[in-house]
């Protein structure tokens, strides 16, 4: 398999609105990212991925773009972006932008022109119908909104302010390609491409035996026949012209489909983000992780990619609750479970992604009032289900587990006001545990979550086998241990993560050199709660 810079990189995802604010308006900005580049460089990351910073009304926090070639007011200016780009590159680091191609804001000039008249030259750049299908949008409610001026309905997969582009129109595609090339000419190093498996739709009604107002229509708008031809053109007209990395968000793709998506021979992206592990490994009964299911799913992806493709490795992102709160124990074994989970995923074959705050073990927020939440998906889910009669108490129980806002509370930098995030009023409440869980508290602690992440990054850079080696499951007697080996030539490594609150009997390999552990005292004969170890096998 070919060696490349992006396979050897570690990527750090930034949700700019919640990272660091330099002008006191309560929202993070581009200059805030520049101010923290020393921190990121010390952590050891190679590439920064920015969630959208394009001009936007922020109905969905930047994923509703109103101008692809301008910076949103809250984030700064294009000059600020250019300085950030220069500073990142001067440190030998790289930058990846989020790219939203499925839809635009309803305030984008393209849509304003499209809705101005049925005869508009851009009418067909979006999807208009006299009669809508019976689909439900992903954010709840109808997937079509009526426009009284032109007396037609427009389609929106997400909110009514996020209007789907018509990828069947070649002029629209050309405009998007020109925009992408503009950013690549500016010197960015890659894209994470949002909701990319939804570009093609099959606009027919869903069966509705229950007589619902709106019907979920996942199979009509996900991986529809013909999407690969569109993606092949996208790659050919843009990404292939530069030495950049591309990661497609394709939640529904499964491991057996890996070839046409990310294989080195015919893939349309270098990597994809899938949701299979998060969907299959969540144990609702124990409100934790099912290690058996997790082992099956991740091993399937490792084996499917071996020799033909490359995996993305991640625990958290801006759309997922904090893993230490869902798969770990954020109370008695907070530090141990945050580090054991990190060790579990970080050393597989693939490019590791770290989401801001994950490296210090940030947890879900204890928000018990719906008014403390800001996420449009969360608020829509609450509103539509209350209309259906679901009790408030039941809805809040679910929201406190799964809301996207858990990943979006401000980065916890220090013990000061607003955790050092802003001198103003934060756009979303902080997690109150910042008074003990923050960067400053961990920077001088050699046993902190932050210190462990630094050690993991350093270890991966020192051992080529931990990048390019093949991955093989190792079955120990402990049912809650996720263990695997990495093998590359004569080099062999054993990675062990005990993902449980109890202890487990286990003896270290006699020919193993311990390279990393999240416990100071790792006496032989047992694994402690959430103990993680990395061995070099001799």
Q: Strand pairing partners for 126?
A: 165
Catalytic residue selected from 74, 136, 189, 249: 249
Asked if residue 152 is part of any domain, the answer here is: no
Span 117-160, pLDDT tens digits: 999 999 999 999 999 999 999 999 999 999 999 999 999 999 99
What pLDDT score does 283 carry? 63
Asked if residue 454 is part of any domain, the answer here is: yes
What pLDDT score does 481 carry? 96
375 is catalytic: no
CATH number of residue 35's parent domain: 3.20.20.80
Q: How confident is the model at residue 250 (pLDDT cuts 50, 70, 90)?
A: very high
For 45, half-sphere exposure in the C-beta direction (CA atoms, 13 angstrom radius) is 25
Please check the confidence at residue 45 and state whether its pLDDT lies above 80: yes
* 75 phi, psi to nearest 5 deg: -90, -20
Does 361 share its domain with 376? no
Per DSSP (E only), the strands in 90-227 are: 94-100, 103-105, 128-129, 135-136, 144-147, 152-155, 162-164, 190-194, 215-216
Domain residues for the domain of 289 are 5-103+170-198+244-367+410-459
User: Alpha-carbon distance 190 to 174, whole Å?
Assistant: 19
Please check the confidence at residue 26 and state whether its pLDDT lies above 80: yes
Does 388 share its domain with 434? no
What pLDDT score does 192 carry? 98
CATH number of residue 504's parent domain: 2.60.40.1180
Q: What percent of the chain has pLDDT over 70?
A: 99
Closest to 189 in 3D by CA, of 234, 242, 236, 240: 242
Does 255 share its domain with 387? no
Token pair of 368, please? Answer: 């018990």
Catalytic residue selected from 64, 74, 136, 194: 194
Span 483-538, pLDDT tens digits: 999 999 999 999 999 999 999 998 889 889 999 999 998 777 899 999 999 999 98
Q: How many domains does the chain have?
A: 3
First-residue to last-residue Cα distance in the chain: 25
Contacts by 65-71 with C-beta closer than 8 Å and gap 24+?
65/100, 65/104, 65/105, 65/108, 66/104, 66/105, 66/107, 66/108, 66/109, 67/108, 67/109, 68/179, 69/179, 69/182, 69/183, 71/30
Span 195-211, pLDDT tens digits: 999 999 999 999 999 99
Does 395 share its domain with 498? no
Asked if residue 330 is part of any domain, the answer here is: yes
Estimate the crossing angle of helix 170-186 against helix 227-237, to 10 degrees.
40
Q: Which of 402, 426, 450 is the last residue of a domain?
A: 402
For 109-126, give the DSSP string.
HHHHHHTT-TT-TTGGGB
Strands 47-50 and 94-100: parallel
What pLDDT score does 12 carry? 98
The residue-averaged pLDDT of 225-246 equals 98
**3-state class (DSSP) for residue 78:** helix
Identify the residue whose tokens are 């587990």. 401
Does 342 share its domain with 474? no
Whether 507 and 526 have beta carbons less than 8 Å apart is answered as no
Span 277-307, pLDDT tens digits: 888 777 655 568 999 999 999 999 999 999 9
Strands 67-71 and 491-498: unpaired
Asked if residue 161 is part of any domain, the answer here is: no
Asked if residue 334 is part of any domain, the answer here is: yes
Asked if residue 87 is part of any domain, the answer here is: yes
Span 455-464, pLDDT tens digits: 999 999 999 9
Does 12 share its domain with 79? yes
**CA–CA–CA angle 10, 12, 16 (5° rounding):** 165
What pLDDT score does 286 carry? 58
Does 309 share its domain with 391? no
For 525, half-sphere exposure in the C-beta direction (CA atoms, 13 angstrom radius) is 2
Q: Which residues contact 241 (CB under 8 A, 6 or more apart)?
A: 181, 184
Span 152-178, pLDDT tens digits: 999 999 999 999 999 999 999 999 999
Does 342 share its domain with 383? no
Q: Which residues contact 532 (CB under 8 A, 6 or more apart)?
A: 339, 340, 342, 343, 344, 496, 497, 498, 516, 517, 518
Asked if residue 130 is part of any domain, the answer here is: no
Does 360 share its domain with 255? yes
Does 514 share its domain with 380? no
Span 347-392, pLDDT tens digits: 999 999 999 999 999 999 999 999 999 999 999 999 999 999 999 9
164 is catalytic: no
Q: How confident is the model at residue 1 (pLDDT cuts 50, 70, 90)?
A: confident
Asked if residue 134 is part of any domain, the answer here is: no
Does 512 share its domain with 419? no
């Amino acid at each position: 398999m070919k060696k490349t810079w992006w396979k050897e990189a570690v990527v750090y995802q930034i949700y700019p609105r919640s990272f660091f604010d330099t002008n006191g308006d309560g929202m993070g900005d581009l200059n805030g990212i520049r101010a923290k580049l020393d921190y990121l460089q010390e952590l050891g990351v190679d590439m920064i991925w920015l969630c959208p910073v394009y001009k936007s009304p922020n109905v969905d926090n930047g994923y509703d773009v109103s101008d692809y070639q301008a910076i949103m007011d809250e984030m700064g200016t294009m000059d600020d972006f250019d300085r950030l780009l220069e500073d990142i590159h001067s440190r030998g680091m790289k930058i990846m932008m989020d790219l939203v191609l499925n839809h635009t804001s309803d305030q984008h000039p393209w849509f304003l022109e499209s809705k101005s008249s049925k005869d508009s030259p851009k009418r067909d750049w979006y999807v208009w119908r006299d009669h809508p299908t019976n689909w439900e949008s992903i954010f709840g409610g109808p997937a079509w909104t009526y426009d009284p001026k032109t007396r037609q309905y427009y389609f929106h997969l997400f909110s009514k302010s996020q209007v789907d582009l018509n990828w069947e129109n070649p002029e629209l595609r050309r405009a998007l390609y020109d925009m992408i090339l503009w950013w690549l000419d500016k010197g960015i190093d890659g894209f994470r491409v949002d909701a990319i498996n939804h570009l093609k739709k099959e606009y027919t009604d869903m069966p509705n035996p229950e007589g619902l107002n709106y019907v979920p229509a996942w199979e009509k708008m996900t991986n529809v026949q013909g999407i690969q031809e569109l993606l092949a053109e996208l790659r050919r007209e843009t990404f292939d012209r530069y030495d950049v990395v591309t990661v497609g968000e394709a939640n529904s793709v499964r491991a057996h489909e890996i070839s046409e998506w990310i294989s080195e021979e015919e893939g349309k992206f270098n990597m994809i983000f899938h949701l299979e592990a998060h969907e299959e490994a969540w144990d609702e009964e124990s409100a934790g992780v099912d290690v058996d299911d997790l082992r099956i799913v991740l091993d399937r992806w490792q084996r499917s990619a071996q020799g033909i493709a490359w995996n993305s490795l991640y625990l958290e992102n801006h759309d997922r609750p904090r893993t230490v709160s869902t798969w770990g124990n954020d109370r008695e074994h907070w530090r141990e479970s945050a580090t054991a989970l990190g060790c579990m995923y970080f050393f597989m074959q693939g490019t590791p992604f770290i989401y801001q705050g994950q490296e210090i073990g940030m947890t879900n927020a204890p928000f018990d009032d719906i008014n403390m939440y800001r996420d449009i998906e969360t608020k829509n889910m609450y509103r539509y289900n209350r209309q259906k009669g679901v009790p408030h108490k039941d809805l809040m129980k679910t929201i406190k587990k799964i809301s996207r806002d858990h990943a979006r509370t401000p980065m916890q930098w220090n013990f000061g006001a607003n955790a050092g995030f802003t001198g103003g009023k934060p756009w979303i409440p902080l997690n109150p545990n910042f008074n003990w869980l923050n960067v400053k508290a961990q920077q001088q602690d050699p046993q902190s979550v932050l210190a462990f992440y630094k050690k993991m990054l350093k270890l991966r850079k020192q051992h080529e086998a931990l990048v390019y080696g093949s991955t093989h499951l190792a079955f120990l007697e402990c049912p809650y241990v996720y263990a695997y080996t990495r093998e590359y030539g004569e080099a062999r490594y054993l990675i062990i993560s005990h993902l449980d609150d109890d202890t487990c009997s286990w003896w270290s390999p006699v020919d193993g050199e311990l390279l990393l552990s999240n416990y100071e005292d790792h006496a032989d004969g047992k694994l402690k709660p959430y103990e993680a170890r990395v061995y070099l096998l001799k």
